[in-house]
Amino acid sequence: RPADEKPESRMARINEAMAETVQRSDGRLLGLATIDAYAGDVAADELSRAVSDLGLVGAFVESASGNEILSAPRARPALEAAAKLNVPVFVHPVQETAQTRQFNLKGFYQTNLGRGAMNSIALAGLLEAGVFDELPTLRTCFSSFAVTAILFGGLFNMTRPDAADLLRQHVYVDTVGVHPTMMRAMIDVLGVDRLVVGTDWPVFRGYSVRDRLIEACYELELSAPYRNMIASENAKRLLGMDAFAPLG
């Protein structure tokens, strides 16, 4: 890319390339708009263009940027645009290694404890700052790394008394790692209708996601309708279209 390319030009170029990839896939792929959620009206305008003109079906955003999280005022225009357009916002966990480095944690812990913390903080911010109250049609999808905020909000009643209801209304969560223990926790708090397949490829690889998902669902003793909800139906509803083959 040009060295002096402006962020808004970069967002536009990425989204146009994604739209071209989706078009070449003959219906096999769906695309999300990449936006800098903290760019105020610029992000909102680009999301509107990406959805209305390019045919992308949601937004991909970072859970934090510098000292700001997704509930920051600068991110509000993008969230308002997503709610108005009725498209989901996929919230990516960003790496925060300051604390894990301070305590000399290495490898997996240094990378993923920080990511989990930031994803949870972003979700807690949306909940506690009243963003979900102000945008009743906003739908978000978080990584399972946001488990702390989900459990606090949904199980322990340690936050606002309506936290569990707001989470169930506004939050979907993916199956990163595809582990039955994590899946059970998410189902207990949010409901089986809010869990969607997520692979985090290429971070998690070396196994068949389909086989691992089937095994986890049987270990959880989920019925066939519930298995298909997790494998396809929930994602179809979240994305607003038929996108995935059912799980047997």
pLDDT in tens, 178-207: 889 999 999 999 999 999 998 776 666 667
Out of 86-95, 103-112, 158-167, the most confident range is 86-95
Q: Which two tokens stand for residue 202?
A: 């290429």
196, exposed or middle or buried, with CB in 10 Å at 0-12, 13-18, 19+?
Answer: buried
pLDDT over 70 at 99, yes or no: no
pLDDT greater at residue 147 or residue 78: 78
| Residue whose pair of structure tokens reads 């047997």 in the numeric block | 248
Q: What is the pLDDT of residue 112?
A: 79
What number is the average pLDDT over the span 116-125? 92
Q: Is the pLDDT of residue 169 over 70?
A: yes
**Is the pLDDT reported for residue 243 higher than 60?**
no
Tokens 């169930």: give the residue.
168
Q: How confident is the model at residue 3 (pLDDT cuts 50, 70, 90)?
A: low
Q: Between these two residues, 243 and 216, which has the higher pLDDT value? A: 216
Is the pLDDT assigned to residue 241 strictly greater than 80?
Answer: no
Kindly report the average pLDDT of the chain as a whole number.
88
Whether 224 has a pLDDT exceeding 90, the answer reads yes
Q: Which residue has the higher pLDDT, 159 or 87?
A: 87
User: What pLDDT is attached to residue 196?
Assistant: 95
Residue 234's nearest CA partner among 149, 168, 156, 154 is 168
Task: Answer yes or no: is pLDDT of 133 > 80.
Answer: yes
Residue 97: per-residue pLDDT: 61
